[in-house]
């Protein structure tokens, strides 16, 4: 999924029944892959861009003990390191739709 300016591409790997534990992000201007967003287990999720450099990820519960949560990530340029992106605070708003 592209951001509005089509400068970044987020690549969640999902199938019917879940998603992988990583979202890859490509910088199309610099032609590089940024550090991925990683999760500790498979989740059902939805991903939406907020502005040019923000990703909002909705993590869905996969069983009764878990709760749905929203995590936001800021794409910083230049990137600080090759470590996976860490969540930032989410500005208000609703969860993204598909």
How far apart (Å, rounded) are the C-alpha atoms in residues 76 and 57?
Answer: 17
Do the Cβ atoms of 21 and 40 come closer than 8 Å? yes
pLDDT for position 92 = 57
pLDDT tens profile 5-45 = 999 999 988 877 777 888 999 999 999 998 888 887 767 77
For residue 50, give the H/E element and its range: strand 44-50
- What ranges do the domains of the chain cover? 8-74
Assess whether pLDDT exceeds 50 at residue 48. yes
Q: 0.85 exceeded by the pTM? A: no
For 81: left if phi > 0, alpha if psi spans -120 to 50, otherwise beta; the answer is beta
Residue with tokens 């892959």: 33
């Amino acid at each position: 999924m592209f951001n509005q300016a089509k400068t970044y591409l987020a690549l969640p790997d999902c199938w019917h029944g879940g998603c992988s534990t990583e979202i890859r992000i490509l910088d199309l201007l610099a032609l590089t892959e940024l550090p991925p967003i990683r999760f500790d287990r498979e989740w059902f999720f939805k991903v939406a861009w907020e502005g040019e450099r923000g990703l909002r990820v909705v993590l869905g519960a996969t069983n009764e003990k878990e709760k749905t949560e929203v995590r936001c990530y800021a794409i910083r340029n230049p990137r600080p390191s090759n470590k996976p992106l860490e969540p930032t605070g989410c500005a208000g708003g609703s969860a993204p739709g598909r």
